[in-house]
Amino acid sequence: MKLIAVSVWNPSGSQFMANKIIRNGIVQDNEWILVTKDRADKLPDGKVILPLSTWREHYPLLSLRETKAGLWLNSDEHPADFPGALNTLPVIAVYFPAFTDGRGFSLGNLLRDCFKYRGELRACGHFIRDQLFYLKRCGFNVFQFEDPTNLEEALKSLQDFSESYQVSADQEIPLFRRRQLF
């Protein structure tokens, strides 16, 4: 199955990148390239995000690469299948094949809570603006839309709610405890 996301090293060999992403609540330039499985044999220079299957197949060489590479997880893959230490990766991208596929939310939460991953956690693919607040709650701090989206307008979705009751990746203290602190 071939997945195409916004920043992809595509089969024709040309580079296609999303110019902008949302990182930590700010619209910024995107410097990472998502590399599809069928293009992993000819990696571009610079910062690349590689599929889990490529990491498993070429881990010894990739771990020695001068420019660090990131990990691309599909929603049906598990972080425990990565051959190295996840916390050595500068970025992990979770691909959402459809905005109705909620497994990416679970992966984000799993990476932050169980695997204690503290690097850049990127949501990419088919999610929608209305999901940004919830993706942030699951631990995502970078958002790379596949579909054209006004990122300045999308930023507003990160502030859809002023408070959250539950503990999450972005709030370690529940609301009732926070209220006791005042």
Q: Which tens digits make up the pLDDT trace of 90-116?
A: 999 999 999 889 899 999 999 999 999
pLDDT digits (tens, 9 = 90+) for 60-85: 888 777 778 999 999 999 999 998 88
25 CB-contact burial (10 Å; exposed 0-12 / middle 13-18 / buried 19+): exposed
In the predicted structure, residue 48 carries a pLDDT above the cut 50 = yes
Give the highest mean pLDDT range of 39-43, 139-143, 147-151: 139-143
Give the C-alpha separation, 82 to 73, whole Å.
Answer: 10
pLDDT at 44 (0 to 100): 77
**Fold entry, domain 8-180:** TIM Barrel (3.20.20)
SS3 9: strand
122 CB-contact burial (10 Å; exposed 0-12 / middle 13-18 / buried 19+): buried
Taking a C-beta distance cutoff of 8 angstroms, is the pair 56, 182 a contact? Answer: no
Write down the pTM of the prediction.
0.81
Helices (H) and strands (E) in the chain, counts: 5, 10
Give the C-alpha separation, 182 to 62, whole Å.
Answer: 49
Taking a C-beta distance cutoff of 8 angstroms, is the pair 70, 47 a contact? Answer: yes
In this structure, of 28-32, 104-108, 133-137, 173-177, the range with the lowest mean pLDDT score is 173-177
Taking a C-beta distance cutoff of 8 angstroms, is the pair 54, 98 a contact? Answer: no
DSSP for 130-181, written as a single string: GGHHHHHHTT--EEEESS---HHHHGGGGGS-S--SS-BTTB-S-HHHHHHT
